[in-house]
Structures are given as C-alpha cells and as structure tokens.
Amino acid sequence: MTNITTEKWIAPVFTLDTMAFGIIKLKNEFKPYAEELGWKVVVDKKGYINENAVKMFHVEIVPVGKKCSPKELIERKDLLRGFTFSILGNTIYKDTGIPKNFNTTWRAFKYKEDGNYMLELRFAEAFIIVADLKKIIKLEIEHPELSLLNFDCSMKKWYQDQLKILKRKAFMSKKRLEDAKEIMNILESCGMPKLSLKKQFFRINAKEF
C-alpha cells in the first residue's frame, strides 16, 4: 500500500521562456539552483511560437523523474521560493524591480482526458506546481498541515467559500454562482465530503469553523 506522503505524485517546476540564443545563458544561470535542490535543468527542444510569431523555448528546473512526494517538496519549498525571487529579480525584473503583488498564488483546474482533474498552482509566474486533485484532497483529509504547507491553500476552505457564495446568491452574479457550483462539483467528484447549505451555515454560525 502506497503512502500518500512519500509517493511521488506532485510535479513542481520552475520555468522561464527564452529565444534560442538565450538557452545556454539561462541554463547556466539555473544550474547552481538545480544543484542545490538536487534537481536538474531541462530544455523543451521543440519550442513554441508565441503571439508575436517568435519561437520560444522553456528552460526548466525539475525533480529527477519530474515528480516528488509531499515530504520531498516541503523540504525544498523555502529554497524554491527564495530561488524564484532571486532568479526573476536577476532576469525578468532586473530593470524594473519585483512588483508588490509578486507573492500572489494563482490556481486553476486542469482536466485530463482520462477523467482526472489536476490542480495547477502558480507562484510569482514562474514556479508552478501541478498535482492530482484527488490526491491533494486525500492528503488534506489525512495530513491537513502537510497539505497546507505544500499547496498554500485548503481545498476544504475553498469548498466552504463556494458555499458562502451560494448562500448569498441574491447578491451574486449568475456567472459567479455558476462558477461556485462548478468548483464544488469538481471538488466533490474528487473526494471532498459533501455539505449542504443548511448544514454548512449552521456550523459556521455555531463557530465550529
């Protein structure tokens, strides 16, 4: 039986894009960071064409094997955040300085063809974590503190926030209500225990949360 805390199922990556002439320079800048993490530097050799019709390439720092366990990630989380500030401060924001909202974490669902949902978290544009939503919820149920430290957000709290939106439906737009229902349905399909509006808000009013 696999252990959710030591199984390798989280895919973290630090990534920047560059034109062909900048690949070697970026690889050399990434190398000491990768060595400190015990990870490796990889280049997407296929590249892609951006909106300005310029061919770009991903240069990335990834774990050996491309995935790591929750315990492995948490051991490197502070280093990764520090490297993110350092690398972006010396590259993208070298002339302008790092913006005030740099520490913002953005999240989104990614649907896979096999029917599973992945959660993508982006920290400061370049540090990305992608993981199976079912396993995130399982980790949070079994090891809530470890889950919060890894993903910087609680799936249960996210679910409860959507319930609050539905409770205040008279003050919400149709789009926001539809989005809240969709998020709840996805979370429930991935193992989040279902709560009714009546039950949930009785508990909130009773200060159980």
> Are the C-beta atoms of 40 and 159 separated by less than 8 Å?
no
Asked if pLDDT for residue 101 goes beyond 70, the answer is no
Given its phi and psi angles, is residue 152 left (phi above 0), alpha (psi -120 to 50 degrees) or beta?
left
DSSP characters over 6-18 = TS--EEEEEEEEE
Tell me the pTM.
0.83
Asked if pLDDT for residue 206 goes beyond 60, the answer is no
Collapse the DSSP code of 199 into the 3-class scheme (helix H, G, I; strand E, B; otherwise coil) and give the result: helix
Tokens for 206, please give them: 């009773």
- CB burial of 60-71 (b: ≥16 within 10 Å; e: otherwise) equals bbbbeeebbbbe
Q: What is the pLDDT of residues 188-201, one digit of tens each?
A: 999 999 876 655 44
Q: What is the pLDDT of residues 30-83, one digit of tens each?
A: 999 999 999 999 999 899 999 999 999 999 999 999 999 999 999 998 888 888
Residue type at position 129: I
Residue 92 neighbours by CB distance under 10 Å: 15
Q: What is the pLDDT of residues 164-190, one digit of tens each?
A: 999 888 888 999 999 999 999 999 999
With a pLDDT cut of 70, the percent of the chain lying above it is: 85
At 202 the pLDDT is: 41
- Which DSSP helix (H) or strand (E) runs through 82? helix 70-90
| Confidence at 11, pLDDT banded by 50, 70, 90 | very high
Asked if pLDDT for residue 91 goes beyond 80, the answer is no
At 114 the pLDDT is: 73
At 205 the pLDDT is: 43
Average pLDDT over residues 3-10: 95
At 168 the pLDDT is: 87
Residue 127 neighbours by CB distance under 10 Å: 22
Given its phi and psi angles, is residue 102 left (phi above 0), alpha (psi -120 to 50 degrees) or beta?
alpha
Tokens for 129, please give them: 């974590």
Distance of alpha carbon 130 from alpha carbon 67, whole angstroms: 9
Of these ranges, 11-15, 86-90, 205-209, the one predicted with the greatest mean pLDDT is 11-15
At 165 the pLDDT is: 92
